[in-house]
Structure 1
Amino acid sequence: MPKKKSTRKTILKIHKILGLTTGLVVFIVSITGCLWVFKEEIESFYDDHKYVAPQDQEFLVASKIKEQAEKIIPNRTIHGVVYGKQHEAIEVVFYEAEPQIFYQSVFLNPYSGEFIKRIDNDSGFFGFVLKGHLRLWLPDAIGSRVVSYSVLMFLIILVSGLVLWWPRNNKNWKQRLKFDWNTKTRWKRKNFDLHTVVGFYIMSFGLILAFTGCVMAFNWFYFIAYKAAGGDNDPRFVIPESEQVIASTTKSNYEYDRLIPILKNKYKDAHSFELHYPENDTTSILVEVSNSKGLYYNMDYLFFDQYTLEEIETPSIYGKYKNARFADKVIRMNYDIHIGAIGGIVGKIIAFLVSLICASLPVSGILLWYGKQYKNKKKPKGRLIKDFY
């Protein structure tokens, strides 16, 4: 028994130290996570710039789209061009990570190339939310590390919390599983139950959010998770080289102009196609085929020789979804699981509620710690709260 008590005290100490250290970070990351979950649904109320009157004609070819977009935002790198349905505008995404993030989109009429709207994706409400979620509005080199390690410690906090929650005897099971409040219940008791009972019920979902967050935050965590799931392919995103290399001076036209019409005919049920222009004379052309609106895991990543349009296979897990194995699918689902999109609107509601409750845990935990550390130890008039731990 003394050994068990000693172990429990050690776990309690770790739980408290990590909780106090990461409390503010977990609170901010959880609240911003709540807001990010419904980004697409909220933005749908003011996204008129994404739609055009459908016409019975082909979209402009990719080279013309590139030319038009570069007139609007010159001397910047085009990350990709998103081709949607007949009634949807074309989105040209500009992205540069260095020396500082430049992330903007230009929306064009797919039939005429007419400019519709320019948006700075790194600003506005959701830009603000994302910066808070990823780096606490601090410089990336500092903030992203603080968030990453805080989320990792939150995993430990949740596991240690379960150990501390576990009842010492059968009489306390009821107390651990539901609220038992009455008119005599003091605020300390209510706060205690909010931290422990609510924490228990959302712990499994909280572990999923924290785990998927760590997969995105740490390369080593990503590789371990993939290998633990039985993966044996290359888990990195690999863009293969074109099989033929032709000097740019002999290149008379842009072969990728023919690519999107071919793929539209082949993937008739696809939601959208995102074309990535080749970075140089040797890289292949990447096209991401979105098969479901709002989901990323089941996308097809296709690679084509930029001179012959011959399809090239990739050794990476990011290829055709039908070729993905179990471990590949698990890793590819990571982001969709993290935001709850994997379960549709119900999954997003669950992710929202879990993230919101996770934000309450450091608050109730700090109040619990404060009440024990700094309040005078007078015997309460109501029920005596025995040390939970």
Structure 2
Amino acid sequence: MAIKKHILTLHKILGLATGVVVFIVAITGCLWAFRAEIESTYDQYKKVVPQDQTILTPTQAKFLAGEVFPDNHIHGTLFKKADDAIEVIFYDAEPEFYQSVFLNPYTGEVIQVDNHLTGFFAFVLKGHIRLWLPKDIGEQVVGASILLFIFIIISGFILWLPKKKKNLKQRLKFDWKKTTRWKRKNFDLHTVVGFYICSFALILAFTGSMMSYKWLMYGVYKSFGGDKDVAFIIPENNSEPLVNANEIPMDRLIVKLMKESPEATAYELHYPTSENESIYVEVSNSEDLFYDADFRFFDQNTLEEIETTSIYGKYKNGKAADKIVRMTYDIHIGAIGGITGKIIAFLVSLLTATLPVTGVLLWYGRKYKKKRELDTVKFDYNN
């Protein structure tokens, strides 16, 4: 009992300290769960009429989009199916700039320009990862709070465990009557709901912490026997730069990959930042999933494929530890389980947001009760 009292004290202190952060992160995570499905209802501009002619090359797409934002850095160009627009993605860290230019793959016409830093889901994401605070401050606050939330979940489960087995049923259901007071209902909401979602909430919190802290991801990777670099590594070319070449080899790469992997859903090509750096292409093998993508690297002069020492290579070549770490984001948003997984992530996030609220009400109710009892004692003494 003495140990449980200490655990309860720690649970309350950590809960009060992180409650607001956990509430915001949970609510925004809940809203983010079906982002892809919601956005697909109003992104018809990304579709084009297929034509029986060759599509733009990566060099042409880079040039045409570069005319829209000549002073910004192109992160990569996304090629999809014959009826999809080409998306040229611009990204700069300082000052933060993240926009996409959509091109007709046959004519080069600019169809649409999207600013990924504005709009509803951009607002939601900023709240989720940094509480709408400056990046350096907000990300640290969120990261530390969710790491502490893991201990809150574990301590909450320990506190939930009944002393006697006969009291177990009471902890598993809402046994409310007309005479049940709101304090009892609030206690049940906190404990019963907390029990049923604790395992899922722990997974969401832990995967979120893995993305926040590289040391945690590294530790998980090594604990599963991983022996590669966890960081993203782009290998260098194997050949010398071409002199007076009649064509740019990179411009043949996308067509080559489309023939090799026709079942792929997208091919995101990243332009080399120097003459020594290889080209890397992220080949997506599933819609709205990231873990099973193939990261492929090619000599920019010969298009010879180059292997990387990182876990981010071909998915089929990865070991169990590589695949587990690469699944982190898809597990975190529930996409790993398809629409069912997203529904679970949605509900768990929504119910997690209730825990800080019911927890604060529990704390307030007990504190107010003690204060009222103390005031009653004083009144009796004075009379």
* TM category, shorter: over 0.9
2:320 is the counterpart of 1:326: yes
In structure 2, the partner of 1:214 is: 209
Which of 203, 212, 229 lines up with 1:234 in the alignment?
229
Q: % of aligned pairs identical?
A: 59
In structure 1, the partner of 2:376 is: none
**For 1:63 and 1:29, how far apart are their aligned partners in 2?**
40
In structure 2, the partner of 1:86 is: 82
Which of 107, 112, 125 lines up with 1:112 in the alignment?
107
Deviation, structure 1 residue 326: 0.5
**For 1:229 and 1:252, how far apart are their aligned partners in 2?**
48
Which of 25, 28, 37 lines up with 2:33 in the alignment?
37
In structure 1, the partner of 2:378 is: none
Deviation, structure 1 residue 236: 1.2
**For 2:176 and 2:372, how far apart are their aligned partners in 1?**
21
Letter in 2 for 1:22: T
Q: Structure 2 length as normaliser, TM-score? A: 0.95
Kindly report which structure 2 residues correspond to 1:62-101, keeping only aligned pairs within 5 A, or say none.
62-97=58-93, 99-101=94-96
Which of 23, 26, 31 lines up with 1:27 in the alignment?
23
In structure 2, the partner of 1:163 is: 158
**For 1:167 and 1:376, how far apart are their aligned partners in 2?**
24
Uncovered stretches (5+) of structure 1, i.e. residues with no partner: 380-389
Deviation, structure 1 residue 244: 1.8
Deviation, structure 1 residue 375: 3.5
In structure 2, the partner of 1:149 is: 144
Uncovered stretches (5+) of structure 2, i.e. residues with no partner: 374-383
**For 2:54 and 2:354, how far apart are their aligned partners in 1?**
52
Deviation, structure 1 residue 251: 4.8
Kindly report which structure 2 residues correspond to 1:1-389, keeping only aligned pairs within 5 A, or say none.
5-97=1-93, 99-246=94-241, 250-375=244-369
Letter in 1 for 2:43: D
Instruction: Give the number of aligned pairs.
Output: 373
**For 1:234 and 1:365, how far apart are their aligned partners in 2?**
41
Deviation, structure 1 residue 181: 0.1
Q: Structure 1 length as normaliser, TM-score? A: 0.94
Letter in 1 for 2:336: I
- 3-state SS of paired residue (1:274): strand
Letter in 2 for 1:207: L
**For 2:14 and 2:246, how far apart are their aligned partners in 1?**
62
CA RMSD of aligned residues (A): 1.2
Deviation, structure 1 residue 245: 3.1
Cα deviations across residues 134-164 of structure 1 (Å, max 9, x unaligned)? Answer: 1000001110000000000000000000000
**For 2:372 and 2:60, how far apart are their aligned partners in 1?**
78
**For 1:84 and 1:164, how far apart are their aligned partners in 2?**
51
**For 1:265 and 1:322, how far apart are their aligned partners in 2?**
19
Letter in 1 for 2:20: L
Cα deviations across residues 181-210 of structure 1 (Å, max 9, x unaligned)? Answer: 000000000000000001000000000000
- 3-state SS of paired residue (2:76): strand
